[in-house]
Structure formats: structure tokens, C-alpha cells
A and B are shown apart, each in its own frame.
Chain A
Amino acid sequence: DAGVTQSPTHLIKTRGQQVTLRCSPKSGHDTVSWYQQALGQGPQFIFQYYEEEERQRGNFPDRFSGHQFPNYSSELNVNALLLGDSALYLCASSLGDRVAGELFFGEGSRLTVL
């Protein structure tokens, strides 16, 4: 039973570039949430996708966008990268978006912006 998988695990970009991160949810899960964790901070909620729609969004600018595919996998896109976007980006999957749905985290994609 595959858990949550994310790719790439590490990447380095320069300011102004764009990045796409990918996530495959745990088998049987249909909801994907994305979190950003800066060094020394707790994860911050970016947005959540369910039924291929963005259902909730945290306090992140429009440079952060996402997509969910029919197979429930998801992408996170960040445009016009800033130095402050350097962080660990975590994907979490769940069955449904209700309160009771337990979240399972992937190992994350570590983005460094130079």
C-alpha cells in the first residue's frame, strides 16, 4: 500500500523562476492538501483540492496555484519565485475533506531559491 509520494525530493531554483511540485495521494485517498514549512516554523496550509477543485486556501498569494487530476494526484505551482519561498513543501492526503479525515504526509519537496 503506497503512501503519499512527492517529487522531486530536492530542487534548486533562482529568483523569478517557476516551479512545479507533484504529489500522489495514499491509495484510496481522494483529497490532497499542500503545506509550506519554512525553517524553524510549523507547516502552513496553502490549499486543499477535492474533486478536482480548490476547496480551501490559506493566506498565500496568487503566485501559488494548484491542480488536481482525475486520478487524485496533484500539482503545486509557484510562479515568480522569491527567496522567501525556500521551504519544505509537504503534501498530505486524506479520504474526504471533512474534519474526521486523518491526514497522511509525504516526505516533502525541499525547494531552495537562490
Chain B
Amino acid sequence: RKEVEQDPGPFNVPEGATVAFNCTYSNSASQSFFWYRQDCRKEPKLLMSVYSSGNEDGRFTAQLNRASQYISLLIRDSKLSDSATYLCAAKGLTGGGNKLTFGTGTQLKVEL
């Protein structure tokens, strides 16, 4: 079983829609979690860190459920410019330092 798993999609949604991605992790020792955005053929860029209390940044909301070992990303009022691949990542496995373990990414396509 992969340490971090995501539905690869693609998720095709109309502009203005709300879309949610989930990501599950297998190692309960993971300490920190993140969502990265990756545009085609570019490097990953940090979108949000994920906290147990949930955090929101404009149209984006991230949440962590440690009991069920999953993290989520909600995007409201989708824009064409949100089209990208969204990677979830875990950090802080025992002895792992700041090594990131990524999922395979979920592709989002926002359409007119």
C-alpha cells in the first residue's frame, strides 16, 4: 500500500463549481501535511499547509482528520486558472526529517 494515496482524476468541473479532493495516508507517525499545486511541466508549489483545526485561504480550505488518516482540499468558486495537478504530501515520519512523501496527484480541469 502506498504511504500517500490520491484519486488521480481528472476532475472536470465547470467554472464556479466547488470541488473537493481527498488524500489518505497510511503512516500514523506522519507529523505535517501539505497541498502542493503543480502546473504542467513545472515544479510543485506549496498551496497550503494542513492543520487539525482546518485552515482556509480565500477560496481554498484544507482539513486534516487524524483519526481516519486523511486530508482534504476544498476549492470553492473554481476558476479556469485553478486547472492544475494537486499533490498532497506528508512529512515527519520517524527519522524522516523534512522528507516529503507525495501522492500521485489529482488532476483538476476547470471548464467554461
Give residues in A with beta carbon < 8 Å to B. 31, 33, 35, 40-45, 48, 55-56, 58, 88, 90, 92, 94, 96-103, 105-108, 110
Contacts and interface: CB of A to CB of B under 8 A. Distances in A.
Contacts, number: 67
B44 A48 contact: no
Interface of B is mostly: loop
B97 A48 contact: yes
A97 B100 contact: no
Contacts of A105: 43-45
Contact of B92 (A35, A42, A99): A99
Interface of B: 4, 6, 8, 31-32, 41-46, 87, 89, 91-92, 95-105
8 contacts: A40-B8, A45-B101, A48-B99, A90-B44, A100-B98, A102-B46, A103-B46, A103-B98
Given A33-B99, A97-B97, A101-B97, 13 more contacts: A35-B100, A42-B4, A42-B6, A42-B89, A43-B44, A43-B102, A45-B99, A48-B97, A56-B97, A56-B99, A100-B98, A103-B46, A106-B43
